[in-house]
Structure 1
Amino acid sequence: MELFFQQVLNGLTLGGIYSLVALGLTLVYGILHVPNFAHGAFYMAGAYAAFWLVTAQGFNYWVGMAGAAVAVALIAVLAERLVFHPLRDAPGLHHMIAAIGLLLFLEAGAQAVWGADFHRLPTPYTGIVEIGGATAPVQRLMIVGAAFGLMVALHLFLKKTVMGSTIIAMAQNRQGAALVGIDPNRVAMLTFAISGVLAAVAATLYAPINLIYPAMGHLVITKAFVIIILGGMGSVPGAIVGGLIIGFAESFGAFYISPDYKDIIAFALLVVILSLRPEGLFTKGVR
């Protein structure tokens, strides 16, 4: 039971991080209807920003997280204004190529500033707690609590606020939303800012138990695409459920099968589920 509980905790940790990244990705897809390959670079930028604020500037962990969230939100808004907005009437392929170019630009910038060496973000939460006879690192418990708390906050924001409602309206019908007075440019910038915040928070939460390096966003964003395809393109509930499915599949698969196949399990699961349900788990888009 202790080993089983440990895998549940690992699954919740991975699922929470994957869901946060996938949520930002699926919100942007709901607005642009184009996959944002640069989202992995936002994730990487959040980790480096938090690392710099904590190690070089001496801020505590939570201030570093907040600063990273603000920095990446600004990067995301600038990306929307300078890269994606000028291509708003271009074919979707142009957005994808531009996103890949932005990804490479941000990775090259991070490598120029911090080098190609691996880094790790220190955390004040180094303790171990016992729950039901099983031990659990405080850092992992904090990741689970913070990740799912942020998901609840995002849900309330989208459902209970006027600004959140404009995002949902724009995702459901861009032209109809513009006709009733919603500013599409403002909504697009807000959506990119939220996606940047989610990516930065996810990276800062996971950085103390993972390495920081320029290409760290590649595997995460690849799995985020698997999640949003699995959950249904543009579906917020699908991003959360898909992230948890992938997180638990990786955790239990690595333990009961082999850690060597941990990163393959997500893609194998994608093939199996889409062969049974090609439209994904959720089919009504952003809700």
Structure 2
Amino acid sequence: MELILEQILNGLTLGGVYSLVALGLTLVYGIMHVPNFAHGAFYMVGAFAAFFLMSSFGLNYWVAMAGAGVIVAAIAVLAERLVFHPLRHHEGLHHMIAAIGILLFLEASAQAMFGADFRRMQTPYAGIISMGGVTLPSQRLLIIVAAFALMLALHLFLRKTTTGATIIAMAQNRDGAALVGIDANRVAMMTFAISGVLAAVAATLYAPINLVYPAMGNLVITKAFVIIVLGGMGSVPGAILGGLIIGFAESFGAFYISTDYKDIIAFVLLVVVLSVRPQGLFTTGAR
């Protein structure tokens, strides 16, 4: 039973990180209808930004996380203004190629600045917590609490604030939202900024139990795309549920099958779910 509980906690840890990344991705898709392949690079930049702020300036972990969020949000807004906005009237393929270009540019920039070495981020939460015979690293517990608190905060922001309502309105009907006076450019920039913050927070939470390196976002963004396809493209509840499904599947799959096949499980699940329900688990999008 203790081993099963540990796998549940590990699943919540992975699911929390995956859901945060997928939420940013699905928000952008809901507004722009563009699969932002550069989102994995935003995740990587967030980890490097937090690592740099902590190692070079000696900033507190939480301050570094906030700083990383601001940096990645600024980069995401610049990407929207300089790349995606000029392409808004073009076909989706142009957006995809541009997003891949941003991804390659940011990865090459990170490698030029920091090198290709693997780095480990320090954390003030390096202890072990024991609860009822179940042991869990403090950082993993922090990920679970912080990730789900941020998801709740995002839900309340979207449902209870006027600004959040404009994002939902844009996701439901872009032309209709523009007709009632909603500034599409402002909403697009704000959505990219939120997606950047979510990616940076997820990276900073997960980096201390993982490694920081220029290509760290590639596998994460691949799984994030699996998650939003599973949950339904543009669906916020689907992104959260899909992240948890993948997190639990990987945790129990690694425990009962083999860690060698952990990363393949997400894609097997994708094939199975889409064979049964091609539209994904949710079909109502961000609405």
| TM bracket (short chain) | over 0.9
- The amino acid of 1:104's aligned partner reads L
Give the equivalent residue in structure 2 for 1:164: 164
Aligned residue in 2 for 1:246: 246
* Cα shift at 1:132: 1.4
* CA distance, structure 2, for counterparts of residue 133 and residue 115 of structure 1: 42
Give the CA RMSD over aligned residues. Answer: 0.5
Mapped partners of 1:253, 1:3: distance in 2: 13
Give the aligned partner of residue 54 of structure 1: 54
AA in 1 matched with 2:18: Y
How far residue 163 of structure 1 moved from its aligned partner, in angstroms, is 0.4
Structure 1 position 105 matched with structure 2 position 135 = no
- Cα separation, 1, equivalents of 2:86 and 2:76: 15
Q: How does 1:1-287 map to 2 (within 5 A)?
A: 1-287=1-287
- SS of the equivalent of 2:149 reads helix
Local SS of the residue matching 2:16: helix
* C-alpha distance in 2 between matches for 1:51 and 1:2: 34
Give the Cα–Cα distance (whole angstroms) in 2 for the partners of residues 127 and 97 of structure 1: 44
SS in 1 for 2:86: helix
- Tell me the SS of whatever aligns to 1:116: coil
Distance 1:129 1:100 in 2: 41
Q: Distance in 2 between matches of 1:83 and 1:214?
A: 22
Q: Deviations over 1:243-264 (max 9, x none)?
A: 0000000000000001010000
Residues 139-161 of structure 1: per-residue CA shift (max 9 Å, x gap): 10000000000000000000000
**Residue 126 of structure 1: how far off its partner (Å):** 1.0
2:52 partner letter: W
Deviation above 6 Å: which 4+ runs of structure 1? none
Q: In 1, distance between residues paired with 2:19 and 2:260?
A: 23
Q: Distance in 1 between matches of 2:133 and 2:85?
A: 54
The unaligned stretches of length 5 or more in structure 2 are none
Which whole-Å CA distance do the structure 2 matches of 1:251 and 1:109 have between them?
A: 33
CA distance in 1, matches of 2:233, 2:45: 25
* Paired-residue identity, %: 80
Q: How many residues align?
A: 287
Q: Helix, strand or coil: the match of 2:85? A: helix
SS of the aligned residue for 1:136 comes to: strand
Between the aligned partners of 1:10 and 1:16, the Cα distance in structure 2 is 10
Instruction: For residue 227 of structure 1, report the CA deviation from its aligned partner.
Output: 0.1
Inter-partner Cα distance in structure 1 for 2:280 and 2:192: 24
Q: TM-score, normalised by structure 1?
A: 0.99
Counterpart residue identity of residue 63, structure 2: V
Name the SS for the 2:130 alignment partner: strand
